[in-house]
Structure 1
Amino acid sequence: MKALIFITAFLFTGFTASARETKIMIRAKARDAKFIGSSLGGAHIIVRNKVNREILAEGNTTGSTGNTDLIMKEVKKRGTSITDSQTAGFLASIDITEPTFISIEMISPFNNKQAQTTVSTELWLIPGKDILGDGIILEIPGFIIDILKPRTHQYISLTNIKGKPFPFQANIVMMCGCVIEKNGVWNSDEIEVKGILKKDGKYIKDVHLSLISTNLFEGSDVLNTPGNYELILYAYHEKSGNTGVDKVNYVVYE
């Protein structure tokens, strides 16, 4: 009887493949910029089995935004890495018994909801065949825009502002958090920043904003009538196609 149990167990083991740990490095890179890592709260990664949607790995990218010269300035050749040991990424470790078709979903920047973008890709993962080095790089387009003035649902007395320039102000960065400045790697002179101003749901005018310090853009307009106002502020970079938007509503009262 014992011999029969042993033989059965042996045969079963022989025909059952054991799971093998398989590692895959996943990185989020801002379009025309650097990697998204710890300084911005990271990009959120979800790795799923494509067939049954089982989550195989999940976490945030951590690490630095990477080497600016290596990523943005040096001439790229096939096989040349654009990352180093400090560059942000998420290392997924997955146990699989056979080639598995996976989907990778990336939500970034994870801590900036108004600028959040979801991108994804799919690929075969082979047991024991790691994908390391630069790994799988997903590109995140856009800008992160935070309107600073006026504040959300701010009540503004017409008496205090009538006939005076009313300031509009926004902080704008690349999707990796990289700085925008005059004549910098990300040159403010190449980025169009404009506010679309509405009152009581109707378009009034456009307001142009320009850089006043690193990442900080400002413009102004004269508000002479009370009402419910909305500012839709956008940034646009023609060369890369990067865009970004933020909105704010505020009230001017008599």
Structure 2
Amino acid sequence: MTATRKYVVFFVALLVASVVGIAAAQPTEVTVRVLSRGGGFLGAPAGGAEVTLRDARTGELLARGMTEGSPGDIERIMGAASGRDGRIATEETARFSTSLDLQRPRLVEVTAIGPMGEEQAANRATATQWIVPGHHLTGGDGWVIEIPGLAVAIDSAPTALTLNDEPAGVDVRASITMMCGCPIEPGGRWDADDFHLAVLVYRDGERLREQPLSYAGEPSRFGTRVEVTEPGAYELVVYAHQPDTGNTGVDRVAFVAESDQAALDPVAAAMARCGMKSTQAADDGTGAVAADGL
């Protein structure tokens, strides 16, 4: 057999093997749902969750998308009658569905990130599972991934503050929900009394105090007034903790408080930050500034 004929036979065999391999691949349906720990599923109210499927051994990307749908039937999800093995999802419950063309069993890794509507609060959860060609992973609730945490977002706080002879008050307002976007409120399904809600106050990196947050009159809205008495670089850290589940969420904001004198005299303010005292020279027509410690 000539060398040319050998090459032709080789490429024909390779092509046949490729075609047979493609033909042997079986569509395999996969449904993934992302559940907020102690809450509902991550769907439209939470901005959904990003779901990624990869081959756990090679890292090959198999599918990626967003969960879409409702948080589900909350009474069914939270009700004791559902039990650990009972189905809690309905047809409207948020999910990500895809079809994988598989030729052989694969160990698949799923990664869920959410809620995407509150990216500063988003957490990541990962799990692995074998998937066999032609054996769909859609039964029951599908592949359910649990996301822990609470979604905390500061709605209002200053970026700068000027102090005079009287202490200044800073109003801090935050939205706090379950990761599914489900509301937290006094006497509700997620009772505010079952959560520890507070703000930590720091000045120049040192912790000053912790203040509790109070219900602000609307579902999932909480706030307090932080008193600021001294200049400095402040950081406010709002956090929420649910002792029964361990769910925790955090958001933070920073601002600078300056005395009214420093605000009027930017040169003095800059020098004060460097630890120097300054006095404004008498106007001699040159605009010169005299500074102690130089």
- Asked if these proteins are the same fold (TM beyond 0.5), I'd say yes
Aligned partner of 2:216: which letter? I
Q: Which deviations, in whole Å up to 9, do the C-alpha atoms of 1:163-184 show, x marking residues without a partner?
A: 3543221110110000001011
Distance 1:247 1:16 in 2: 52
Determine helix, strand or coil for the equivalent of 1:112.
Answer: helix
Matched residue type, 2:115: P
1:67-106 → structure 2 map (5 Å cutoff): 67-77=73-83, 79-106=85-112
> Given the alignment of the two structures, is residue 54 of structure 1 paired with residue 60 of structure 2, yes or no?
yes
User: Does the alignment pair 1:146 with 2:153?
Assistant: yes
Q: Which residue of 2 aligns with 1:130?
A: 136
Unpaired runs of 5+ in structure 2?
1-11, 260-294
When normalised by structure 1's length, the TM-score is: 0.89
2:160 to 147, 152, 155: 155
Q: Distance in 2 between matches of 1:39 and 1:148?
A: 18
Could you tell me whether the CA contact under 8 Å between 1:162 and 1:223 is conserved in 2? no
Q: What secondary structure is seen at the aligned counterpart in 1 of 2:224?
A: strand
State how far apart, in whole Å, the 1-side matches of 2:17 and 2:62 are.
Answer: 29
Question: Structure 2 counterpart of 1:237, which letter?
Answer: Q
Letter in 2 for 1:131: L
Point out the structure with the larger strand share: 1
Q: Does 1:198 align with 2:202?
A: yes
CA–CA distance in 2 between the matches of 1:216 and 1:7?
A: 67
Q: C-alpha root-mean-square deviation of aligned residues, in Å?
A: 2.3
Q: CA deviation at 1:9?
A: 8.9
The superposition leaves residues 18-43 of structure 1 with CA deviations (integer Å, 9 ceiling, x where unpaired) of: 11100111010000000001222210
The letter of the residue matching 1:36 is L
Percent identical pairs in the alignment equals 31
Structure with more helix by fraction: 2
State the distance in 2 between where 1:194 and 1:41 align: 25
Moved more, 202-211 or 27-36: 202-211
8 Å Cα contact 1:162-1:222 kept in structure 2: no
The residue aligned with 1:3 is none
Deviates more, 1:30-39 or 1:73-82: 73-82
Kept in 1: contact 2:121–2:153 (CA 8 A): no
Structure 1: runs of 5+ lacking an equivalent = 1-5
| Residues 242-253 of structure 1 aligned to structure 2 (within 5 Å) | 242-253=247-258
Match of 1:208 among 192, 197, 212: 212
SS at match of 1:82: coil
